[in-house]
């Protein structure tokens, strides 16, 4: 069947490609009881704080309220022996936030785990994808 | 501080242990555009159908509506080249459902990937957990 003009006029997000390419995502979470201590959302927030040097700017970049971002940062800091995010006091920029050495290590080790997991399972992932319809 | 009787009377799930042991969970999803083709929920449903030989019984065991379970099974079957779940027609038990060879392989390869991912990353996982507060 030829693609109709109706298909092409479909709203964004309604699925322009009929069958998008399958993507494998590994997600790791460290839970404590019902609470997620470390997970993909918190790691992405830490990375964005590292880039923007600001919780406010990071929240905006991710599309999250400042309050929500602050709570997540507080959660992460409480979950760790030593905090992942520190406030910069004063200076020309009037504050801001930065990742501590522990914060940087947490992000690095988390991303390394995800990447290595995918690498270690490449053959099985290929096998699984071969079961999927084109 | 001694554990008070108030603490002991806390409702189930309200957190009996003050700091539960951290648990690492790897979750893999195969997405296509916005849709999750294969994920932990669907795999758990397939495993339960395999055990119960019935979509109805599996839905009940998981605490899911029959309708929801049926939709998930239909999703999985549509995502694959060949279906993962087949209906058993007639017989003494009057029907029921079973995993096909493809369904069994999908579950096995999915669980193998999760287990191997965790094994391959054991050292980094240990390192990450060492950053957490006790």
Separation CA B74–CA B51 (nearest Å): 19
Residue A122 belongs to some domain of the structure = yes
Residue B56 belongs to some domain of the structure = yes
Residue whose tokens read 């409480």 = A78
Query: Is the pTM value of this prediction over 0.95?
Result: no
Residue A88 belongs to some domain of the structure = no
Query: pLDDT above 90 covers what percent of chain B?
Result: 66
Per-residue pLDDT at A10 exceeds 60: no
Instruction: Count how many domains chain B has.
Output: 1
Show Cβ contacts of residue B112 under 8 Å, excluding neighbours closer than 6 positions: A121, A124
Chain B residues 21-80 with a CB less than 8 Å from chain A: 21-34, 37-38, 78-80
> Residue A35 belongs to what domain range?
31-83+96-130
CATH of the domain at A120: 1.10.10.10
Residue A10 belongs to some domain of the structure = no
Contact (Cβ atoms closer than 8 angstroms) between residue B104 and residue B82: no
Q: Say whether residue A20 is in contact with chain B using an 8 A CB cutoff.
A: yes
Residue A4 belongs to some domain of the structure = no
Residue A45 belongs to some domain of the structure = yes
Residue B6 belongs to some domain of the structure = no
Binned at pLDDT 50, 70 and 90, residue A1 comes out as very low
- Dump pLDDT digits (tens) for B5-60: 444 444 444 545 567 889 888 889 999 988 889 999 999 999 999 999 999 999 99
Binned at pLDDT 50, 70 and 90, residue B92 comes out as low
Residue A121 belongs to some domain of the structure = yes
Q: Say whether residue B12 is in contact with chain A using an 8 A CB cutoff.
A: no
Separation CA A5–CA B18 (nearest Å): 60
Nearest CA in chain B to A121: B113
């Amino acid at each position: 069947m030829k693609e109709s003009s109706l298909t092409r006029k479909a709203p964004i997000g309604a699925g322009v490609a009929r069958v998008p390419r399958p993507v494998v995502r590994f997600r790791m979470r460290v839970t404590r009881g019902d609470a997620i201590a470390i997970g993909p959302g918190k790691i992405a927030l830490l990375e964005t704080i590292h880039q923007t040097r600001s919780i406010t700017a990071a929240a905006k970049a991710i599309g999250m309220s400042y309050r929500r971002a602050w709570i997540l940062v507080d959660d992460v800091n409480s979950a760790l022996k030593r905090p992942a995010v520190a406030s910069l006091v004063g200076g020309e920029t009037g504050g801001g936030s930065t990742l501590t050495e522990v914060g940087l290590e947490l992000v690095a080790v988390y991303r390394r785990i995800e990447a290595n997991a995918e690498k270690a399972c490449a053959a099985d992932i290929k096998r699984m994808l071969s079961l999927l319809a084109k």
